[in-house]
Amino acid sequence: MNKISKFIKAVQLIIQKPYLLNNVLKDEMVAKESFEKAYPNLSFRQIRLVDLMDSDEVKITPYAFLSGSSLATDFALLQLLCRKYDVKDYLEIGTWRGESAANVSSYVDRVTTFNLGDEQLLSLGLPKDYVASHRFFSKDKVNIQHVFGDSQSFDFETLHQTYDLIFIDGDHSTEAVRRDTTKLRSFLKNEKSIIVWHDAKVDTEYPRYEVLRGIYEGLPTEMHAKVYLVENSLCAVYLPFDVPSESIQINRLPRTSFELTLKKLPLTEK
């Protein structure tokens, strides 16, 4: 198909299905160009997951290996940050199966995990089975509190809590990430508190500009220098410490090799 035929076909499809316009507006190339215009002097820095590893092993459990699961290295990052920086109070936006909440629960005192309620998810037309999978791994853990609402409108003051680490993994549109970031940074416990964002990369190497735009817009400029992508993961982190960091390099040769051992767990084991 030549360019003109493609153009005509695309316009016909957009007229028939206007929601397809979102694919153009959310395209990563479009987001990248717009990000670079907004932040012409910004170059991403990354930290290395292996620099956080206090021993050679991190145990990732539970892990469902189902559609939409975070990477094992994302859960490793959360656990390692909780351990290294002595996180007592952890908040996350986006519970879903409760995998991230359950993965950190042994390393912190209290986990608060926040999600749209089941009724709200159903009223948005989401499939029943998807809704039923929420909280699967977190519901029986004693130190995990489930809170329900829309993070965009919920009044977090009502929880009377501040947090050592806040994991933002709800709605990943630029606007939602910006609003979650702006809103939740006032609930950081102190100047040593950390924010982690999920899906700040499209894969373990390439930045995801749609989310990164929301992160940088949601933080005051003085915090920007402490935002890092995390090697081998899909996360970005605001880490207010002096940590070794480097510029990102796509297609770098592997510098570390990991070993995964798969162990089948009965689901009654918590």
Ligand X SMILES: C[S@@+](CC[C@H](N)C(=O)[O-])C[C@H]1O[C@@H](n2cnc3c(N)ncnc32)[C@H](O)[C@@H]1O
Interacting residues with ligand X (CB under 6 A): 70, 92-97, 99-100, 114-116, 121, 150-152, 169-171
Return the number of the residue (14 or 131) whose C-beta is nearest ligand X.
Answer: 131
Minimum Å distance from CB 164 to ligand X?
A: 17
How far is 220 from 154, CA to CA, in rounded Å?
A: 22
Return the number of the residue (12 or 22) whose C-beta is nearest ligand X.
Answer: 22
Cα dihedral sign, 77-78-79-81? positive
Return the number of the residue (166 or 229) whose C-beta is nearest ligand X.
Answer: 166
**Largest interatomic CA distance in the chain:** 61
How far is 165 from 78, CA to CA, in rounded Å?
A: 9
Q: Which residue's CB atom is positioned nearest to ligand X?
A: 94
Return the number of the residue (170 or 207) whose C-beta is nearest ligand X.
Answer: 170
DSSP β-ladder status, 227-230 and 236-238: antiparallel
Minimum Å distance from CB 123 to ligand X?
A: 12
Q: Give the number of other Cβ atoms within 10 Å of residue 45's Cβ.
A: 16
DSSP β-ladder status, 236-238 and 246-247: unpaired
Minimum Å distance from CB 211 to ligand X?
A: 12
Minimum Å distance from CB 119 to ligand X?
A: 12
Return the number of the residue (41 or 153) whose C-beta is nearest ligand X.
Answer: 153
Q: Give the number of other Cβ atoms within 10 Å of residue 184's Cβ.
A: 20
Minimum Å distance from CB 45 to ligand X?
A: 24
How far is 211 from 197, CA to CA, in rounded Å?
A: 8
Minimum Å distance from CB 244 to ligand X?
A: 26
How far is 12 from 132, CA to CA, in rounded Å?
A: 38
Return the number of the residue (114 or 209) whose C-beta is nearest ligand X.
Answer: 114
Return the number of the residue (252 or 270) whose C-beta is nearest ligand X.
Answer: 270
Minimum Å distance from CB 188 to ligand X?
A: 19
H or E stretch including 79?
helix 72-84
Burial grade of 187 (CB within 10 A; 0-12, 13-18, 19 or more): middle
CB 201 within 8 A of CB 207: yes
